[in-house]
Amino acid sequence: MKKQSELYSGKAKTVYTTDDPEKLILHFRNDTSAFDGEKLQKLERKGMVNNYFNAFIMQKLQAAGVPTHFEKLLSEDESLVKKLDMLPIECVVRNISTGSLCRRLGVEEGLDLDPPTFEFFLKNDELHDPMINDSHILTFKWATQAEIDRMKELTFKVNGLLKALFADAGLLLVDYKLEFGRYQGDLLLGDEFTPDGCRLWDAETREKLDKDRFRQGLGGVVEAYEEVARRLGVELPEVSA
Ligand code: 5GP
């Protein structure tokens, strides 16, 4: 598999074309961003940790019947994926209230949400990823009704699978964001699943072990990601002295 040219560089990943038109390489960089790119920092080892973390989760999901774009790990910070036609939509499920839900609706932080909420957001940094609904998606042709239904079905399926996986590791899956894309007539889970795009709290202490440590300047960001990876049994390469 030969890496060719850079296709797109996002805030934390760069995407490269390969000699196979159906496959792309994702390079997980150490760059970390928050607040639509306003806060930026390089964090040693984050690219590597996220690459292995994402591979672990994507493989678990794939094995449990959630179709994903993930193919294989290529190096410490690169993975091979199927080339999807990405929908410009973020799907967010929340099990515990925090973040923008509390800001928007004025609800208390830390409530158990039963049933969990589901929200769509438009991927658009300039507009700060506004919340959208099914009607907007249909009117502006961002996805079809069948795709809307499938995104909801798969995002909730991921919730059942990952809530249990994280619970076994002593962690609460508070909320997370997923992105989907089209591939040969199907909808597959794309992008990544890492602590950059979800909230994970220690089940006992409710300590934050995700990107909120970066957003809120709590420090120990990569250490927290590594702690989550260790608890899940993700095998990370030894840190050289
Ligand atoms: P909130 O809407 O509370 O800011 O975020 C809800 C969940 O979705 C959090 O787990 C957050 O990390 C994730 N999320 C929402 N938008 C984005 C985004 O643009 N990038 C990333 N990495 N995660 C996001």
Compute the distance from residue 85 Cα to the ligand 1 centre, in Å.
21
φ/ψ (deg, to 5) at 191: 55, -125
Q: Give the Cβ contact number of residue 128 at 10 Å.
A: 11
How far is the CA of 190 from the CAs of 66, 67, 112, 179, in angstroms? 11, 9, 28, 6
Positive/negative CA dihedral, 147, 66, 174, 180: negative
Whole-number pLDDT of residue 1: 83
Compute the distance from residue 141 Cα to the ligand 1 centre, in Å.
23
Atom of ligand 1 nearest to the CA of 125: 19
Q: Which residue among 92, 95, 225 has the greatest number of ligand 1 atoms within 8 angstroms of its CB, and so is best to mutate?
A: 92
Positions of E strands within 69-133: 70-75, 78-82, 85-86, 89-96, 112-122, 131-132
Q: Where are the domains of the chain?
A: 3-84, 85-220
Residue type, 176: Y
Beta bridge partners of 78: 27, 75
Whole-number pLDDT of residue 180: 99
Q: Which residues of the chain have pLDDT under 50?
A: none
pTM, whole model, 2 decimals?
0.98
Between CA 213 and CA 199 the distance in angstroms is: 10
Q: Structurally, what CATH architecture does the domain formed by 3-84 represent? A: 2-Layer Sandwich (3.30)
Q: Give the Cβ contact number of residue 180 at 10 Å.
A: 26
Q: Token digits for 222?
A: 């990569």
**Tens digits of residue pLDDT in 58-73:** 999 999 999 999 999 9
Q: Which fold has domain 85-220?
A: D-amino Acid Aminotransferase; Chain A, domain 1 (3.30.470)
Whole-number pLDDT of residue 240: 61
Compute the distance from residue 234 Cα to the ligand 1 centre, in Å.
23
Whole-number pLDDT of residue 238: 80
Ligand 1 neighbour 129 (Cβ under 6 A) = yes
**Tens digits of residue pLDDT in 179-203:** 999 999 999 999 999 999 999 999 9
Compute the distance from residue 16 Cα to the ligand 1 centre, in Å.
24
